[in-house]
Amino acid sequence: MSPPLLRYKGVVLALIFISFSGHSKGCDEDEEFECLEDGRCIPIERFCDAKPDCLYASDESFTVCKAHLSDMMADKYHCATGAAIPARLVCNNIADCSDGSDELPQVCERDPGELEEKFRGNCTGDTDLECLPGECVSHSAKCNNVIDCSNGRDESLEICMQTCEADKCFQCANGVLLDSKDLCDNKMDCLDGSDELSNVCGNAVNWKEVPPAACHETVEHRFTNRTVFQKGNSLRFVYANQAAEVQCWNSDRKSWNVCMNNGSWLHDFPPCIEKVVNRNPDTNGTNGCPINWYNNETMLIINWDDDSESIALPPIQNARVTFRCNEDLTFLPYEFKDKPITCQANKTWIELDFHPRCTNLCSPQQISEMYSLTPRCYNGDNGSPINCQDKYSLVPNTQVKFECASGFIHQTSDTMSVKCTEDGEWKGLRDLCENQERHCNYECNHRLNYSEVTMSKGGDATDSLQASWLVPIYKLNSTTTKHEFVCTGNLIRLDIVLTAAHCLNGRNSRPEDFLVGSSGNRSSSVDLKYLHRVRNIEVYGAYSEVSHIYDVGIVVLEKRMDFKQDQRIVCLPYNVGSHLDLKGDAMVSSWNSDGYLATVYGRLSEPKNGDLKVVLHDGYTLCKGDSGSGVITTCGLDNHKCLVAVVSRNVGSGDHGTFCSNNVTAATLISPHLQDYIQQLIRNNINCPE
Q: Is 11 in the site for ligand NAG (CB under 6 A)?
A: no
The piece of 192-200, 411-419, 422-430, 530-538 that touches Ca ion (CB under 5 A) is: 192-200
For ligand NAG, which is the closer residue by CB, 262 or 609? Answer: 262
234 binds, among Ca ion, ligand NAG, none (CB under 5 to 8 A by kind): none
Between CA 412 and CA 414 the distance in angstroms is 5
Between CA 140 and CA 127 the distance in angstroms is 9
The per-residue DSSP string of 358-397 comes to EE----HHHHH--TTEEEEEESSTT--EE-TT-GGG--TT
Size of residue set near Ca ion by CB under 5 A: 15
Q: Of 628, 581, 588, 587, which is closest to residue 606 (Cα–Cα)?
A: 581
The piece of 59-67, 155-163, 279-287, 354-362 that touches ligand NAG (CB under 6 A) is: 279-287
Between CA 255 and CA 269 the distance in angstroms is 7
Q: Is 524 in the site for ligand NAG (CB under 6 A)?
A: no
367-406 footprint of ligand NAG as x/- string (CB under 6 A): ----------------------------------------
Q: Of 237, 220, 219, which is closest to residue 228 (Cα–Cα)?
A: 237
Q: Is 53 in the site for Ca ion (CB under 5 A)?
A: yes
Q: How far is CA 463 from the centre of its chain?
A: 42
The piece of 170-178, 207-215, 281-289, 426-434 that touches ligand NAG (CB under 6 A) is: 281-289
Between CA 339 and CA 322 the distance in angstroms is 6
Q: Is 521 in the site for ligand NAG (CB under 6 A)?
A: yes
Q: Is 96 in the site for Ca ion (CB under 5 A)?
A: no
Helix (H) or strand (E) holding 495: none
**Shortest Cβ contact with ligand NAG: which residue?**
3
5 binds, among Ca ion, ligand NAG, none (CB under 5 to 8 A by kind): ligand NAG
Helix (H) or strand (E) holding 234: none
Q: Is 652 in the site for ligand NAG (CB under 6 A)?
A: yes
Between CA 192 and CA 239 the distance in angstroms is 7
129-148 footprint of Ca ion as x/- string (CB under 5 A): ------------x--x-x-x
The one-letter code for the residue type at 298 is T
Q: How far is CA 193 from the centre of its chain?
A: 37
> Other CB atoms closer than 10 Å to residue 607's CB: what's the count?
18
Q: Is 308 in the site for ligand NAG (CB under 6 A)?
A: no
User: C-beta of 363: minimal distance to Ca ion in Å?
Assistant: 45
The piece of 79-87, 323-331, 343-351, 676-684 that touches ligand NAG (CB under 6 A) is: 343-351
Q: How far is CA 482 from the centre of its chain?
A: 45
Q: Is 182 in the site for Ca ion (CB under 5 A)?
A: yes
Q: Is 298 in the site for ligand NAG (CB under 6 A)?
A: no
Q: Is 195 in the site for Ca ion (CB under 5 A)?
A: yes
Contacts of 203 (CB under 8 A, 6+ apart): none
Q: Among 30, 297, 306, 328, indicate the residue that binds ligand NAG (CB under 6 A).
A: 297
For ligand NAG, which is the closer residue by CB, 101 or 445? Answer: 445
Q: Among 234, 346, 413, 524, indicate the residue that binds ligand NAG (CB under 6 A).
A: 346
> Phi and psi dihedrals of 236, rounded to 5?
-100, 140
Between CA 96 and CA 99 the distance in angstroms is 8
Q: Among 92, 186, 251, 264, indicate the residue that binds ligand NAG (CB under 6 A).
A: 264
For Ca ion, which is the closer residue by CB, 32 or 195? Answer: 195
Dmax over CA atoms of the chain, in Å, equals 119
Phi-psi region of 148 (alpha: psi -120 to 50; beta: other; left: phi over 0): alpha
Between CA 575 and CA 3 the distance in angstroms is 63
- Residues in contact with Ca ion by CB under 5 A are 46, 49, 51, 53, 59, 141, 144, 146, 148, 154, 182, 185, 187, 189, 195
- Residues in contact with ligand NAG by CB under 6 A are 3-6, 121-122, 133, 225, 260, 262-264, 279, 281, 284-286, 296-297, 344, 346, 348, 449, 451-452, 461, 464, 477, 479-480, 520-521, 596, 615, 651-652, 663
